Structure 1
Amino acid sequence: MFKKVIQSIVNQMDPRGDLVPVHSILDHEHFRPLCLVRRKRKAIFHPSPCYKRTWYRLDDVLLPGEDNKSTESLFPNGDGQDSRQFTVKKSVSDRVDGSLSLCVDPTSVELKGAASFSKQWSIKLEKNYIPVPELEALKTERKMNVNHSFIQQLKKKRQNLYVVHETIETLEEASYEESTKAEGSFMSQLYAKFCAKGTRENKQSITIPKGCTLAFRAIQLAITDGSWDLEYFPEESRSMFVSDGFSQGKLGALEEEVKENCQVLSKLSSDLLIIFLKAIKAVMRDRNLFQELTQKMEAVLDETGSCKLETESPDLRDLLSSLQYSSRHLLLKLAGAIAYTLDALDELTEDQLLLLLESLEEKVVSQQLKLVESILEHDIEHRKEHFSVDASVLSFSREKEQKITIAMVEMSGVKLQEDGSAVCMEEAFSAVAALYVSLYVLDLLSNSD
């Protein structure tokens, strides 16, 4: 829910800019001004920059200046940042009513129904930023500590480093609430009168604390022999570390990327497939487990040497144990496949994850994968008008399976009809690509069933 709210705020404030949303409320303090972050591996399903925490601030990796002052003291107002305040509001409320009456002597039937949906928030925000000229001035005052273990590891792995210089934070505690309510009644008159009525209500809410970082901007650092610089045009300049690659957003490129990252999973034994699937299903249900597994896989890939593949969770224990006893070469490949899968799942909504779990139970993931592949065969990256997919892949043995599938695809921005006609409701390629990757891996792992 936090991710959904923040993405909506960012879309309102900076729809075509480079403001990056913070996806987890658990990590918000690691994206404040002067925090150091790294770029995640580029993937077709998230072409815009995505960052991960490093636990370090710029001050931690700089050598002391001549006056031995901290970075914060170099800025005019003492706390190292300027600020601006503003408020973002949103309110959505929908209600649909309907009824149906049938009369065939001696029987009459009446059906009534209503559904409503509402969500609203009002958040006071503060923009905090460190003026770039102040960062430029800092370069001459403080040199980079190239002997710092973190900088040494980055150099060895040839990874880029970025510093947060602007954030959007909550000025006061804020709450978001979303509610869905459905009502229905049924009355039948045969030889006796029968009435029934049902109501279903679903409410979700989240409280965002004061001072929570919701979004940020970062600038790349270039580090050479103790000096450091700001890379304003990183794509056009040479940096110390290898720059991130760029993937073309087409189905062929996506299939190639998925196979490259996940081919190792297809070589697992049936027993290991079951273990891997159990763990992935567990993290789809539990955000804390999701974060734990993500952090452990990133630690393996970063080769920090401090990663212990141990856990208190019985849902992850078998997976981590199997990884622990793998060769180093195989471990890196498996960790890469798991991290890639988690990145794709992280692009989906909470409701989509639940529908995916239900799809696994119904054993329709293979057919859903074919459907999503048929959608991606069209140029949905730029398409706004209607198009058609093969209606046969929308033909499920049960109506429930079809509804689950249509709902899941619609959450990625493509509205489907039972006859195969479809339309993109938004720029949907990245979201549909993430769904494709998720279905591909789940289908592969569930082949052990």
Structure 2
Amino acid sequence: MFKKVTQTVAKQMDPKGDLVPVHSISDQDHFRLLCLVRRKRKARFRPFPSYRRTEFRLHDVLLPGEGEDSVESLLPSTASRSPWEFTTVGSIKDRVDGTLSIPIDPAEVEVGGAASMSKQWHVKLEKKHILVAKLEALREERKINMKHTFIEQLRKARQNLYVIHETIETSEEARYEESTQAEAKFMAQLYAKFSAKGTTGSKQSITIPRGCTLAFRAMQLTIEDTAWGFAHRELDALEKEVKEKCHILSHLADELNAITVKSIKAVMRDRSLLEELSEKMEAVLDDPDNCELTTQSPDLEVLLSTLKISARCDLLSLTEAISYTLDAFSELTQDQLLLLLESWEVKIVPQQLKLVRSILEQNAEHSTAAGLLSSFSQQQQQLTTAVLEMSGVELQGSSAAACKKENFPSLAALYAALHALHCLSAS
């Protein structure tokens, strides 16, 4: 829920900018002014920058200066009130009723239901920032300690370092509430392991403390940087990226494939395992010589042990492929991952991959989405429809499908996840 709040705040305050939402309330203390962060590896399903926390602040990696601490003096005074204060208030109530007829020779299945949703929030915000000019001046006054172990690690991994120079924080305690009520014939026809017939409802709330960081901006400390963008069509670029990142997954030896598949299935069932394995893979890519590949999970233990004894080139290529796959998983909901797992087990991932690709093409005249969806069996159609709708795909008429431009990242993540699963199946 915290992620929903921070994404809403970032979108409202800077719809097309580089204001980055904080995803976890437990991590927010590591995204304050002058905290150092690392940028996550680029992916087509991440249209905006994404960063990882570190355990360091700027003054931790600078050589000592003379006199007064020139770093801490950059911080705004806690005694003064910020002139940059905002309030975001929202209340959403919505109800949707609908049906979709899916023709299946010789019968027709009707998928329908109704759902209502309400959200309420009232958040007072305060903007804190450090002038970039002051940080540039500090660069001349205080030099980076190139012998610091963290800096050495970054240089070895050829990674850039960023410092947070602007934050959006809560100026008062805030509360966010969300409730949903759903009644669906559609869900009743899905596999029992994912749903139940009848009416379901849920109510969630979160209290955010005063002074909590919700979003931030960061600037790079190094002079090396490569601009990123879409040089080709979005789908062409996505396909190229996915094939490059996941290529090795389709060429694993049988034993290594079985080990990898076991761990991938485990993280699809358990979000905490997904986060743990993601952290391990990032640690390998950051510093392959000094990472600790240990775990308490039997579902991950064999994979990590195998990676530990792998040749360096094999270690890095497989780790990068797994990390990319987990990044795609992280952009999907837990329900989607469970539905994808079922799709993988009933061997319809290749068909789903073709279907998602046809939707991404965004060409109604030549789209093959309708034909591809109608080729599934009844249960496969229901399973696939649920996965697509969770990525913002709108089903129109008799199996036609469309995706709005703003939902491209979510559908791109689904495409990347399906491609990775397909590669593992073909290995």
Displacement of 1:388: 4.0
Q: Secondary structure at the match of 1:64?
A: coil
The 5 A counterparts of 1:44-63 are: 44-63=44-63
Q: What residue in structure 2 maps to residue 405 of structure 1?
A: 384
Displacement of 1:91: 1.9
Work out whether 1:263 is the aligned partner of 2:242.
no
Q: Cα deviation per residue 1:82-108 (whole Å; 9 max; x = unaligned)?
A: 563322222222235799xxxxxxxxx
Work out whether 1:391 is the aligned partner of 2:370.
yes
Q: Secondary structure at the match of 1:427?
A: helix
Larger radius of gyration: 1
Q: What residue in structure 1 maps to residue 93 of structure 2?
A: 93
Normalising by the residue count of structure 1, what TM-score does the alignment of the two structures yield? 0.80
Change (3 A) 1:315 1:89: farther
Larger CA deviation: 125-134 vs 308-317: 125-134
Q: Percent identity?
A: 59
Q: What residue in structure 2 maps to residue 359 of structure 1?
A: 343
Change (3 A) 1:184 1:254: closer
Q: What residue in structure 2 maps to residue 243 of structure 1?
A: 226
Normalising by the residue count of structure 2, what TM-score does the alignment of the two structures yield? 0.83
Contact 1:75 1:81 in 2 (8 A): no
Q: Cα deviation per residue 1:342-393 (whole Å; 9 max; x = unaligned)?
A: 22222223443333234334432222111011122336xxxxx898433221
CA distance in 2, matches of 1:174, 1:357: 37
Displacement of 1:218: 0.7
The 5 A counterparts of 1:270-419 are: 270-303=254-287, 305-378=289-362, 388-395=367-374, 397-417=376-396, 419=398
Contact 2:329 2:417 in 1 (8 A): yes
Displacement of 1:67: 0.6
Displacement of 1:165: 0.4
Aligned amino acid, residue 243 of structure 1: T
Contact 2:374 2:399 in 1 (8 A): no
Displacement of 1:312: 0.6
CA distance in 1, matches of 2:97, 2:310: 58
Q: Secondary structure at the match of 1:352?
A: helix
Aligned amino acid, residue 158 of structure 1: R
Change (3 A) 1:155 1:98: closer
Q: What residue in structure 2 maps to residue 190 of structure 1?
A: none
Q: What residue in structure 1 maps to residue 145 of structure 2?
A: 145
CA distance in 2, matches of 1:146, 1:79: 35
Contact 2:250 2:426 in 1 (8 A): no
Aligned amino acid, residue 434 of structure 1: A
CA distance in 2, matches of 1:218, 1:330: 33
Contact 2:170 2:214 in 1 (8 A): yes
Contact 1:386 1:423 in 2 (8 A): no
Aligned amino acid, residue 252 of structure 1: D
Contact 1:38 1:161 in 2 (8 A): yes
Change (3 A) 1:418 1:269: farther
- Structure of greater relative contact order (alpha carbons < 8 Å, 6+ residues apart): 2
Among 413, 417, 427, the residue aligned to 2:406: 427
Larger CA deviation: 323-332 vs 354-363: 354-363
Aligned amino acid, residue 326 of structure 1: S
Displacement of 1:407: 3.1
Displacement of 1:411: 3.0
